[in-house]
Amino acid sequence: MSQQENRAEHVLKGVMLTEKTAFMAESRNVYAFDVPLDANKTQIRLAVEAAFEVRVVSVNTITRLGRPKRHRAHFGHGQSKKRALVKLHAEDRISLY
């Protein structure tokens, strides 16, 4: 296995499959992926191109901080998440279904 494939497995944690992301994939050719909090846009772009053999036009990221939690007298927060919205070239598609 090459380094790019190994890196792609570590950067792309999963594909977001919801009604909204399915609509975005069909209409705008934008796909959503769960990524680690420390992944940057360049790493995400290289990982998607290596994993699916497509051309990436742009990458937008969304970081969602964990919600505040309380258990009796202890305060904390939930898990933070990062999502990447990847726009592909007009001729490229990813088959997710």
Helix/strand number for the chain, H first, E second: 3, 6
pTM, two decimal places: 0.85
Give the chain's domain count. Answer: 1
Which CATH number goes with the domain that contains 27?
Answer: 3.30.70.330
Q: Which domain holds residue 62?
A: 3-66+73-88
Residue that is written with structure tokens 């570590």 in the block: 10
Per-residue pLDDT tens, the chain, 97 aa: give them: 455 555 778 899 999 999 999 999 999 999 999 999 999 999 999 999 999 999 999 999 999 999 999 988 899 999 999 999 999 999 999 997 6
In one-letter notation, the amino acid at residue 37 is: L
Quick one: pLDDT at residue 24?
Answer: 95
What's the confidence (pLDDT) of residue 9?
81
Confirm whether 52 is domain-assigned.
Answer: yes
